[in-house]
Amino acid sequence: MYEKQFSETSYGFRPNRGCHNALKKCQEYANQGYWYVIDMDLEKFFDTVNQSMLMEILSRTIEDNRVLSLIQKFLNAGIMNKGMFIKSKQGVPQGGPISPLLANIMLNELDQELEKWGYRFVRYCDDLMIFTKSKRAAQRQYKRVIKFIEGKLKLKVNKDKTNISKLVQVKYLGYSFYRIKGKC
């Protein structure tokens, strides 16, 4: 139902779209001259997903109110922490069977916006890299993307862990990139 809505540059928790596919796409962008990146970190993503926003997004595709009700109950189920029950008012339970899918559905809103703007990006769950040809372009895109994430999606960007740099200066999904004779 949702798979066909997801971006081609969205990886992670999707069939045949693992981290090596994401890294290959990064390499492709670099070899097209996109050597500057915004390595973006969403602060405590799973814990801070706005449940009302997520339910609104889900209701655009899911028409069966019983399914929506089950998802809402899953989100509100709460957690046990050191023997204490904590009711959840926000976030998606980490480790829950449908949590990765819900994360991709939520962040698909970002993917669609980035595509509309013509940005080149790779997203693996909540790990996002946006590719540009210059540092200046990266700085412009950074401001626009943060405004969308924090304003529209009501998520928080961890500005301390978000960097604008050359691709060879970052690690993505645990891998480093190298430039040899102009190629990645």
pLDDT tens-digit map of 139-183: 999 999 999 999 999 999 999 999 999 999 999 999 999 999 999
End-to-end CA distance of the chain: 36
Residue spans of the domains in the chain: they are 1-171
Residues 6+ apart with CB under 8 A from 138: 36, 37, 38, 130, 132, 164
- How many Cβ atoms from other residues are within 10 Å of residue 49's Cβ? 24
* pTM for this entry: 0.92
Distance CA 112, CA 7 (A): 7
Q: Which CATH class is domain 1-171?
A: alpha beta
Distance CA 129, CA 167 (A): 9
pLDDT tens-digit map of 110-148: 999 999 999 999 999 999 999 999 999 999 999 999 999
Percent of the chain with pLDDT over 90: 89
Distance CA 136, CA 114 (A): 17
**The pLDDT of residue 85:** 77
Per the structure block, which two tokens stand in for 78? 């709460």
pLDDT tens-digit map of 75-105: 988 777 788 877 777 999 888 899 999 999 9
